[in-house]
Amino acid sequence: MALTDVSRPTDVAMLTDLYELTMAQGLWENGKQDEQGCFTAFYRDHPFESAYAVMCGSAELADLVENLRFTDEDIDYLAGLSAPAGGRMFNPAFLEYLCAFRPHVDIDAVPEGALVFPREPMVRVTGSMLECQLLETALLNAIGFQTLVATKTARVVAAAKGRPVAEFGLRRAQGPDGGMAVARASYIAGCASTSNVLAGRKYGIPVSGTHAHSWVMAFDSELEAFRAFAQSSPKNCTLLIDTYDVREGVENAIIVAREMEAAGERLAGIRIDSGDLAKLSAYVRGRLDEEGLDYVKIVLSNDLDEYTIQSLLNQGAPVDSFGVGTKLATCYDQPALGCVYKLAAHRASADDPWTPVLKLSEQPDKRTIPGIQQVRRYVDGAGSPVCDMIFDEAYLEGEGATRGTTLVAVNDAALVTSVAGLSYHELLEPVVRDGQAVGPRESIEVARERCKTELGALDAAYKRFLYPQTYMVGMELGLARVRDELVRERMAQTSSAIPWKRV
């Protein structure tokens, strides 16, 4: 709800799954509304078979917290909900409690544009269990899709090898908010412009676009259509030449380019949106150069993604820029990041010490990491990231402080390494304190520059499309031991509770 200018920002309170509200009611009825929890949001698996993801959406989190209010209209709606077995779903006294509800959570998050990796916390939320629970759905909605889009975009931009990429996906995006999220996230991750005018106005993103096939079809001839457009938009004239035949289209574009030169203007470019793009672009470049029109740029579009762009350049396509729409806006080959939000520590009150907790699953890769988690990113002498270490801030405040240089891989306990002597910085930064934003929101340009810098520093082995090297994410040794102990304790409790039969 923070992505678009809505007249009712408080709708964010209702942008939630029903079970968040039923759990909140249960906590309240059991007198547990003030018990403290620490939740982390993370993803488990690499998106797009990549070795990294680009964090995006964290700048929206302060708005979510500050706008989390229940209006009279909200309360009336909830009061009218019936439980499946009959009767009211919500206790009137609980709804009265929600009328005055204000969140006082603390949120720490990885800043937008930074690189993130599987299993490490992207966001950490600390506060009352009830408040943390009510934020879950909206928080995951804010960071999951935008991170996915930013990651897809980073791959597309990498494939383009310095050529500008325009985001053209609004008409294919999943609704208005989806279109806004795509424009924002793709710009942070490196797109040069967007076709989305509302996003351009709201976020200050450069906008681009000229005409469609329908423009050409509205005239008696292609040449007439090109002439009309050049007259209408002489400073923004890129002609789409594949409505009928590219070879004929380029000849008509050449005629118009000559006429524009005579009028003191220049044809900016031509766009090809169908056919064998490598072959056709080579032909068009040849004809333009033969006519002395080497300044006219070639733009390619037509369901492009990182793989088709890579293929086109490998074939030597003489392209100057790309327009990428559907497969970027819909994250075509992976529709969701699979971001999750899990309880990692618990305490009865703010005055009590934290108790680390974990979720134990029959699937070992779904076992969570306990503790008040922070992440250190270690870099080599050239500033290139080499590994990330998850550690428990509460644990390292005490006896574990001297054991913070040994890293145990999250998914492979046999993989142990020392990070002693390496430089590092911590990833999670304060975003919200006591329910209020910490400082002004960061500029989208700052996030964009951060993304460019971090991708530039990342070793090429992690950025290749085919079989990228796996970036190491591990736990500090003390945290790994705590996790192992909790796993053993929980498994022992579970085993003793099951009446196993002798065979």
Q: Cα–Cα–Cα angle for 139, 144, 150, nearest 5°? A: 130
In angstroms, rounded to a whole number, what is the distance separating the alpha carbons of residues 79 and 82? Answer: 8
Judged against a pLDDT cut of 90, whether residue 496 lies above it is answered with no
Q: Cα–Cα–Cα angle for 18, 24, 29, nearest 5°? A: 130
In angstroms, rounded to a whole number, what is the distance separating the alpha carbons of residues 192 and 170? Answer: 15
Residues 30-74 have pLDDT tens digits of 999 889 999 999 999 999 999 999 999 999 999 999 999 999 999
In angstroms, rounded to a whole number, what is the distance separating the alpha carbons of residues 234 and 360? Answer: 64
Alpha-helical runs (H) found in 315-431: 326-329, 393-396
Residues 147-194 have pLDDT tens digits of 999 999 999 999 999 999 999 999 999 999 999 999 999 999 999 999
Find the helix or strand (DSSP H, E) in which 21 lies.
helix 18-29
Q: Cα–Cα–Cα angle for 375, 377, 380, nearest 5°? A: 165
In angstroms, rounded to a whole number, what is the distance separating the alpha carbons of residues 473 and 110? Answer: 15
Torsion, Cα 286 289 290 292, to 10 degrees, reads 170
Q: Cα–Cα–Cα angle for 206, 210, 215, nearest 5°? A: 155
498 pLDDT tier (thresholds 50, 70, 90): low
- Mean pLDDT, to the nearest integer, of 71-88? 96
* DSSP, res 264: T
Q: Strand, helix or coil at 385? A: strand
pTM reported for the whole predicted model: 0.94
* DSSP, res 415: -
Question: Which of 77, 98, 101 is CA-nearest to residue 89?
Answer: 77
Find the helix or strand (DSSP H, E) in which 340 lies.
strand 340-347
* Contact in structure between 440 and 448 (CB atoms under 8 Å): no
How high is the pLDDT of residue 396? 57
Residues 106-159 have pLDDT tens digits of 999 999 999 999 999 999 999 999 999 999 999 999 999 999 999 999 999 999
Residues 215-274 have pLDDT tens digits of 999 999 999 999 999 999 999 999 999 999 999 999 999 999 999 999 999 999 999 999
Angle, in degrees to the nearest 10, between helices 246-262 and 277-290: 30
Question: Which of 369, 367, 365, 366 is CA-nearest to residue 356?
Answer: 369
In angstroms, rounded to a whole number, what is the distance separating the alpha carbons of residues 336 and 282? Answer: 37
In angstroms, rounded to a whole number, what is the distance separating the alpha carbons of residues 180 and 329? Answer: 10
Tokens of residue 134, six digits: 């009510």
* Domain ranges, ordered by start, for the chain: 210-307
Superfamily of domain 210-307: Aldolase class I (3.20.20.70)
* DSSP, res 85: T
Class of residue 373 by CB neighbours under 10 A (exposed 0-12, middle 13-18, buried 19+):
buried
8 pLDDT tier (thresholds 50, 70, 90): low
Q: Strand, helix or coil at 347? A: strand
Question: Which of 247, 250, 304, 294 is CA-nearest to residue 273?
Answer: 304
β partners of residue 389: 376, 474
Judged against a pLDDT cut of 60, whether residue 1 lies above it is answered with no
Q: 232-239: which pairs have CB atoms within 8 A and are 24 or more residues apart?
A: 234/260, 234/263, 234/265, 235/265, 236/210, 236/268, 237/210, 237/265, 237/267, 237/268, 238/210, 238/267, 238/268, 238/269, 238/270, 238/271, 238/297, 238/299, 239/210, 239/211, 239/267, 239/269, 239/270, 239/271
How high is the pLDDT of residue 206? 98
How high is the pLDDT of residue 412? 87
Q: Which amino acid is at 307?
A: Y
Tokens of residue 128, six digits: 């009352």
Tokens of residue 9, six digits: 């920002």
